[in-house]
Amino acid sequence: MLVVLATCSVIVAVGNGLSENLFFFQRLLRETSRLDELIVVDNGTTDGSGTYLKELPNRKLIRFPVEMGLTTAWNWGLRTASGEAVAIVQTGCVLPTDWLSNLLKLWHAKRKTGLIRSIDRQTVLKYASVFGRYAEAVRGISSGAFSSEADLNQAYNGSFDTFATGLARRYGSQRIATSSAGCFLCSRDLIQEKGCFPEGSQATGAGAIESFLQSIAENGGWARNTATVYTHR
């Protein structure tokens, strides 16, 4: 039976880091087979990223004149989103092929409730006993952002996408208790029901995601971390 995937709004908040931002969006546009709505929040960049973001095709652009904090940027993006699902991605993530459609398929399989979160390098290292040789492979890789395909593939022994695909095939059905990845998807209704992310000088992306996950759990909801989507971070 053919499943028609829900529409999805992808929200990205962008800070300074021109070369890393260019690389992030190059992969985002190339590795996303269907991009219904891309919402980009320029979080007060001053390094030329703003000029690049203005030229991005088929995006909704929100621009802050000064840096307002990651969670504030996400909240503005959420207020603009029109998709049935919402995916939030941090620019430090390297996205694998078909990352969005894979998250959406899992979400559909769970009847479009709850939250689906990718895993990342730190998750693989945390559960080294589960991921075996894949954990050994990433142990010497830096957690920093990449700015070129050549550097990324060199770090991943020739091909990041081969690594991510192999890990997904081997461990895609594995239950992973926690994840530190900055990439997740849920319904727009769910995130609006639970309230937007906490704002303020002390609000961080990681802390905001964890608080949101906790609020879901406290209200009987669920969140699943999936090795089907491995994002370097």
Each residue's pLDDT expressed in tens, for the chain with a length of 233 residues: 455 778 999 999 999 999 999 999 999 999 998 899 999 999 999 999 999 999 999 999 999 999 998 888 998 999 999 999 999 999 999 999 999 999 999 998 887 778 899 999 999 999 999 999 999 999 999 888 899 999 999 999 999 999 999 999 999 999 899 888 889 998 888 777 666 677 765 556 667 777 777 777 666 678 889 999 999 98
Give pLDDT, residue 6. 84
Domains in the chain, number:
1
Give pLDDT, residue 110. 81
- 209 found inside a domain: yes
- 1 found inside a domain: no
- 176 found inside a domain: yes
CA pair distance 233, 225, nearest whole angstrom: 15
Three-state SS string across the chain, please? CCCCCCCEEEEEEECCCHHHHHHHHHHHHHHCCCCCEEEEEEECCCCCHHHHHHHCCCEEEEEECCCCCHHHHHHHHHHHCCCCEEEEECCCCECCCCHHHHHHHHHHHCCCCCEEEEEEHHHHHHCHHHHCHHHHHHCCCCCCCCCCHHHHHHHCCCCHHHHHHHHHHHHCCCCECCCCCCEEEEEHHHHHHHCCCCCCCCCCHHHHHHHHHHHHHHCCCCEEEEEEEEEEC
Under 8 Å CB-to-CB from 93, ≥6 apart: which residues? 24, 118, 120, 181, 182, 183, 231, 232, 233
CATH of the domain at 195: 3.90.550.10
- 86 found inside a domain: yes
Give pLDDT, residue 219. 67
Give pLDDT, residue 38. 97
For the entire predicted model, the pTM comes to: 0.92
**152 is in which domain, residue-wise?**
8-231
CA pair distance 97, 12, nearest whole angstrom: 18
- 44 found inside a domain: yes
- 162 found inside a domain: yes
- 87 found inside a domain: yes
Give pLDDT, residue 194. 62
- 22 found inside a domain: yes
Give pLDDT, residue 8. 95
Sign (positive or negative) of CA dihedral 144, 148, 153, 155: negative
